[in-house]
Structure 1
């Protein structure tokens, strides 16, 4: 029986507007993500770069864009957070031990909190035993250490723990450690359909 659920954040609760972000950067002159910027993003999500260091890394490719324009473009990926998902999570929190584990950065989290307001994000955070942001942990999914850290710190039984994420590489890593997983298919499934997923041992 599942007693603990670990959730991803983006495209699980918070809708992500990835195409909008790409289009906004195109207007600034960036044709699309490249290996160098992806590597910088990984470092930023591990807290290894400051905000300004990360934003400055774009200047190599779009030198005419200002830092404020780059930051604004970076935040266009943050979409809406439907209220029905929060209400579902609040109901779940009475029955299960819940955690949030997400690869993210301080710019996106600040922007999310400003968008939804203190009442909403406080209600959201209160659903969890602990919220884990990669940039605060110094590691990111799918690194095994990030899952092991939570399992050890909270004395979780992997056989009674479910991990939900939209990226298969992340759910595969969790599954390798013995956790139950749901690789949610964005656009086809919604987190509120959790109990309709017959394959989940809830």
Structure 2
């Protein structure tokens, strides 16, 4: 019997356009995604550096790009957030304890709130008992401490909690910790199919 659901954000509720971010950075002159950019991204996602340091890290590889261009390219990954997904969330919010646990950064969240509008963002956040962004809590999935942080803060029983995420390394860790899991496949699955999948 599922009592609580922990959702990921990107590619679960908001669509991510990975092709767009690749295209936009290539336009700025980035020919390959370097290891140090991956490390930079992870540091930004756990709040160890601020936006300026993050963008300046990109400038080392893109000396001709300004801060605004790099920020725009970084945000190009954010796609649509269909209204029907919000309506689905609102429908189940009274039946389950809902939580959001997302690996993300301040730049993307600010862009999401600006793009969709404060009212939409507020309606979305209000569906959850608590929203956890990695850059605010200083831990990112699949670190088991990210899951334990939510469990301990809300006294959740993993066996009665469903974890929904598009990344297999994240659902694998959650499963190891005793959660029920759904490794949602973007472009194939849609979060609104939760009942059809007999997951809850």
TM-score range, shorter chain: over 0.9
Partner of 1:172: 172
Question: 1:153-186 CA distances to partner (integer Å, 9 max, x unpaired)?
Answer: 1000111000000000000011111000000011
Partners of 1:189 and 1:143 in 2: how far apart?
25
Contact 1:184-1:191 within 8 A present in 2 as well: yes
* Shift of residue 60, structure 1, vs aligned partner: 1.2
- The alignment's TM-score, normalised by the length of structure 2, stands at 0.99
Which secondary structure state, in structure 2, belongs to the residue aligned with residue 49 of structure 1? Answer: coil
Which secondary structure state, in structure 2, belongs to the residue aligned with residue 109 of structure 1? Answer: helix
Which secondary structure state, in structure 2, belongs to the residue aligned with residue 5 of structure 1? Answer: strand
Is 1:141 equivalent to 2:141 in the alignment?
yes
Contact 1:22-1:32 within 8 A present in 2 as well: no
Contact 1:102-1:134 within 8 A present in 2 as well: yes
Which secondary structure state, in structure 2, belongs to the residue aligned with residue 195 of structure 1? Answer: coil
Unpaired runs of at least 5, structure 2: none
Partner of 2:105: 105
Residues 28-37 or 97-106, more deviating: 28-37
Stretches (4+) displaced over 6 A: none
Partners of 1:57 and 1:143 in 2: how far apart?
24
Partner of 2:36: 36
Contact 1:164-1:181 within 8 A present in 2 as well: yes
**Equivalent residue pairs, number:** 200
Partners of 2:31 and 2:174 in 1: how far apart?
34
Question: 1:15-42 CA distances to partner (integer Å, 9 max, x unpaired)?
Answer: 1111001000000000132211011000
Partners of 1:52 and 1:69 in 2: how far apart?
13
RMSD: 0.6
Which secondary structure state, in structure 2, belongs to the residue aligned with residue 196 of structure 1? Answer: coil
Partners of 2:133 and 2:149 in 1: how far apart?
13
Question: What are the within-5 Å matches in structure 2 for residues 79-158 of structure 1?
Answer: 79-158=79-158
Is 1:58 equivalent to 2:58 in the alignment?
yes
Partner of 2:72: 72
Partners of 2:131 and 2:153 in 1: how far apart?
13
Question: 1:29-69 CA distances to partner (integer Å, 9 max, x unpaired)?
Answer: 00132211011000000000111000000111111101110
